[in-house]
Every structure is written in C-alpha cells, then in structure tokens.
Amino acid sequence: MKDVNAFTARLISERNLRKQRDLYDDSISTCDHEKVGKLQGLIDTATENAVEKEYLDHAEFLTGQMRGNINARETLQMLLNYPLREYPEPEDPNAKKDKKAPPKKKKKEPPFPLPDWAEQLDDVKKKTAEMANLAAKKDHLKLDDGFIVKVKEQLARFKQEIAYRKMQEDELAAWEAEKAAKKAKKKK
C-alpha cells in the first residue's frame, strides 16, 4: 500500500508540475514573484516525490527564466527611477580667457539626490553591467523589443552618468590633494 501511495503522489506531483509549467511557459514576461514561488513549491514537492528528472529540469529552467525576467524588469525600473541630471557644458580649452574678467563664482547647489543603491559609483557600474548582461539574454528571458529599447536608452544615459561621476570624483581627489599640499607647505 505504501508503494501505491508513493506512486500516486509522484504521478500527482508530475501532473501538477507539468500543468503549471505549461501555463507559465507562455507567460514568462508577465510573471511575478508569486508565480515563481508557486512553481518552486511544486518543484520541491515533485523532488520529494521522486518525479522524473526531465520534468524537474524543465521546471527549473522555466523558473530560472522567470526569475531572470523579473530581475531584468526590476533592474530597469531602478535605472528609470534614478533622477535625471543636467550636465554642465564642457569648457572649451582652446577658447581665450579674458584675463580682466573676474572669476565666476559657482552657485552652491544642493547635492544631487541619489537613490540608496547608487551612492557608490562601483554600485552604479555593477547595476549597469547587470542590466547589460540581462539584456544580452533577451531571447532566453523572453524580453520584448520595447523593453530592449528602454534598456538601451538607460545604458546610454548611465554611460554618461558614470563618466560624469568619475570626473567629479577625480576633481574632488585633485582638489583634496592640492589642499593637503598647501597645508603641508604652510607647516614648513
């Protein structure tokens, strides 16, 4: 009797897994964490009931696609939520400077509002690279063309943002080094 119950449980788990897999196979791009959790629960139950590896492998593959798609959409949303910055126009190094004109005083601007995930430049670079990697898997993750267009726009925007923030960090480091050199010179 124990073998019959185990066999029945295995067949039921296999059927449930196959049914959910077929339902979710076409809806990868509209999946959410709840669907992924439900499918993962079925996979766990099917594993306990010794369902054939073929069914488990396909369900794991589908779960991976769903998680990747969700991750891609969440990452893009993070990039879209990053505030837009107005970049100053670069100064022309070949332009003649009016020596009589007093130096322009820069207005004290409030700090640029950065989201928590983007406070460190390395984190911004990692998130941008992650988005590029996810977009490269567009066929596997079933990302549509409209999504990829948005991703490309954000990647171009973040390329400029990263370059600007790197320039700001370099200027700050140079200013601090100059300040430290002046301070050391005064001590002598």
Query: In this predicted model, what pLDDT tens digit does every residue of 97-154 receive, in sequence order?
Result: 555 555 555 566 778 888 999 999 999 999 999 999 999 998 888 888 999 999 999 9
Buried b (16+ CB within 10 A) or exposed e, 147-184: beebbeebeebbeebeeebeeeeeeeeeeeeeeeeeee
| Cβ 167 vs Cβ 92: under 8 Å | no
User: Residue ranges of the domains in the chain?
Assistant: 2-85+116-187
pLDDT of the residue at 141: 87
The DSSP code sequence of 169-187 is HHHHHHHHHHHHHHHHHHH
Please give the backbone phi and psi of residue 111, each rounded to the nearest 5 degrees, phi first: -60, 145
pTM exceeds cut of 0.85: no
Which tokens in the block code for residue 97? 């400077």
Q: What is the pLDDT of residues 14-29, one digit of tens each?
A: 776 666 665 565 566 6
pLDDT of the residue at 31: 63
